[in-house]
Amino acid sequence: MKWNSSFVIGIEVIDAQHKKIFEHLLAIENSVAKRDPWHILRFLLDELASYMKFHLAVEEAMLEVIRYPARANHHESHLSIMKQIAELEAALKHSDDGANLVRFFENWFLRHVLAGDRDYVAFIKKEFPQLAERSGA
Ligand SMILES: [Fe+2]
Ligand SMILES: [Fe+2]
């Protein structure tokens, strides 16, 4: 998968973090392609998971501060994301199905970035335009 402009939601701080998540994802993809040993994949997955925790916490703090009306729902979606990752980490202990891992993260990234986070963008652009990118992308 390659980064492209359709991934940009138009809120600078969030887009910068999504790009970082994407870079973690590419590192995992490369590692799978190179058939790295299990412990390397495990390390990369841990790194991704911890960055993701940080990102989801930032997003939730932002939505809380601006009193986004559907923030509870968004929080729920984040809980299920972290649950899926925990399951994946557990599954990785018993197999080294790298292709499955890559598929999961690509799907997760597309769902979370392209769909999940779109729900608050219109609200922010309307109520807090100063948080949106100057370019208005
Ligand atoms: Fe996000
Ligand atoms: Fe989110």
pLDDT digit string (tens) for the chain, length 137 residues: 888 898 999 999 999 999 999 999 899 889 988 988 888 888 998 898 899 999 999 999 999 999 999 999 999 999 988 888 888 777 777 666 677 777 877 887 888 766 789 999 999 999 998 888 665 44
Q: Ligand 1 centre from 16 Cα, in Å?
A: 10
Q: Ligand 2 centre from 34 Cα, in Å?
A: 31
- pTM score, two decimals? 0.88
In a domain, 137, yes or no: no
The total number of structural domains in the chain stands at 1
In a domain, 19, yes or no: yes
In a domain, 95, yes or no: yes
Concatenated DSSP letters of the chain: ----GGG--SBHHHHHHHHHHHHHHHHHHHHHHTT--HHHHHHHHHHHHHHHHHHHHHHHHHHHHTT-TTHHHHHHHHHHHHHHHHHHHHHHTT---HHHHHHHHHHHHIIIIIIITHHHHHHHHHH-GGGB-TT--
Q: Which ligand is nearest to the CA of 11?
A: 1
In a domain, 46, yes or no: yes
In a domain, 29, yes or no: yes
Q: Ligand 2 centre from 120 Cα, in Å?
A: 9
Q: Ligand 2 centre from 74 Cα, in Å?
A: 6
Range of the domain at 26: 5-131
In a domain, 96, yes or no: yes
Q: Ligand 2 centre from 95 Cα, in Å?
A: 29
